Structure 1
Amino acid sequence: MRTYAQYCPMVRAVEVLGDRWTLLIVRDMLIGATRFNEISRGLPGLSRALLSRRLRQLSNAGLVVRTADGYALTPAGQDLRPLVFGLADWGARHAFGDPRPEELDPELLMWWMHGRIDTTDIAKRAVIQVVIADRRRTYWLVLEPGDASVCYTDPGFDIDAVLSSDLPTLYRMWEGEIELLDAVRAGTIDLTGARWIVRGLPGWLRLSPIAETVRASRRG
């Protein structure tokens, strides 16, 4: 590994964390990803070979350890939380403009969304068809007591509700720029189906972990 040859704690931190993808791997582990395939699925532009290399580097630096079923952050890794989410706060205030087309991946968004659904109050199966009109793509969220999954092909269940919008709007909702119910009232997101799902989904869907940061930056 090339170094900056400066005796400074900031330089040492950059040497550990400054490689491409490293901070995003830490970000995803801070919000709950523990298995190799989970981390890989959440970072689709990262090759599995490079992910393995970055995890080894983080392990050698004392930030990650192997566990029986994956990986975990050490206390030193957990101490990166204020740094990582501090960067998110700075980005939301100073570098977060309109989404670029290459930033909008529908499958990644669905993967993120299914992982942030709180199934505590879901008493029976709910199947929500998600239609992304501008991409002509359809996905299915299958919510059950204690579990949420996303299907990229028709799971064969009856559809209980339909959520439809264009991809930029769904991303803006996910990132906290617009509220789901506000978008439904404005007609930019269409949510129809069983009343208990239409009423429940805004509470079940916990948005991006940095959604509150984005909201605060917009208010500011």
Structure 2
Amino acid sequence: MARYGQYCPITRSLELLGDRWTLLIVRDLLVGAERFNELARGLPRLSRGLLSKRLDHLVRAGLVEHHDGRYRVTQAGEELRPLVFGLAEWGARWAFGEPRPDELDATVLMWWIRGGIDAKAFGEPRRVVLQFRFVEGRRRLYWLVVTPTDVSLCFTDPGFDVDVTVDVGLDVLYQVWVGRIGYGEAVRDRLLVVTGERSLVRALPRALQFSPVAPYVRRAAAVD
């Protein structure tokens, strides 16, 4: 932990939260990740060893609790929510733009989308299989198998009939997910092509709950 040698609540806060990756771990805990592997999958460039070190630091600092294999924020950690999403609001207004190539990771995006699926939007309880086909990249095919109680991300054909197929560029889907491009706008402009069972195609934008930062990105765009 870096020490700044200044008696100030800002420096004390930075001593707890200023290390690389720490606030992103807090971000993921605040939006629902609980298990070590969930955090690791959402932050693939963070080594598992450093993730473990950062989590231990947050537990010792009283920001996170660890019981029965689950990590959860404490009251102190929960009170970081306005700070974390305040950064989202500021960043959407002043530090955001088109995605850079090094920011595009299809597996990370699909993992985020998996965590934001509302199965109830598809109607009566059933299994719904979504296939995503990216127009570029090393891995171009992903499947989401949606049931009333679980959403599975598959990297190989799960063996079920596909109900909805999404054809899209990775950069476009990222921007739709974070709210920089509207879903309807992307469909209208043929940047996002959705085919399959008609009722499920109509339900897809309701099932995709989008990124927790999407409201801030949309609001920043409206201000501009």
| Shorter-chain TM-score tier | over 0.9
The alignment status of 1:174 with 2:177, answered yes or no, reads yes
Counterpart secondary structure, 2:77 = helix
Letter in 2 for 1:134: E
Q: Does structure 1 retain, via aligned residues, the 8 Å contact 2:177–2:214?
A: yes
TM superposition score normalised by structure 2: 0.96
Q: Does structure 1 retain, via aligned residues, the 8 Å contact 2:130–2:144?
A: yes
The alignment status of 1:189 with 2:192, answered yes or no, reads yes
Residue in 2 aligned with 1:108? Answer: 108
The alignment status of 1:33 with 2:38, answered yes or no, reads no
Residue in 2 aligned with 1:45? Answer: 45
- Deviation, 1:146, is 2.3
Q: Structure 1 CA distance, aligned partners of 2:57 and 2:217?
A: 31
Name segments (4+ residues, structure 1) moved above 3 Å: none
- Deviation, 1:2, is 3.4
Letter in 1 for 2:193: D
- Deviation, 1:120, is 2.2
Q: Structure 1 CA distance, aligned partners of 2:118 and 2:164?
A: 17
Provide, for residues 119-155 of structure 1, a one-character-per-residue CA deviation record: whole Å limited to 9, x for no partner: 1244211111100012261101111112211111111
Deviates more, 1:210-219 or 1:112-121: 112-121
Letter in 2 for 1:90: W
Residue in 1 aligned with 2:208? Answer: 205
Letter in 1 for 2:147: E
The alignment status of 1:156 with 2:152, answered yes or no, reads no
- Deviation, 1:189, is 0.5
Q: Does structure 1 retain, via aligned residues, the 8 Å contact 2:165–2:195?
A: yes
Letter in 1 for 2:27: R
Q: Does structure 2 retain, via aligned residues, the 8 Å contact 1:120–1:146?
A: no
The alignment status of 1:13 with 2:13, answered yes or no, reads yes
- Deviation, 1:181, is 2.2
Letter in 1 for 2:222: R
Query: Which residue of the other structure, out of 130, 134, 137, is the alignment partner of 1:135?
Result: 137
Q: In 2 relative to 1, CA 2–210 (structure 1 residues): closer, same or farther, beyond 3 Å? A: closer
Q: Does structure 2 retain, via aligned residues, the 8 Å contact 1:132–1:167?
A: yes
Which stretches in structure 2 are left out of the alignment for 5+ residues?
none
Counterpart secondary structure, 1:143 = strand
The alignment status of 1:125 with 2:136, answered yes or no, reads no
Quote the sequence identity (%): 54
Q: Structure 1 CA distance, aligned partners of 2:109 and 2:66?
A: 28
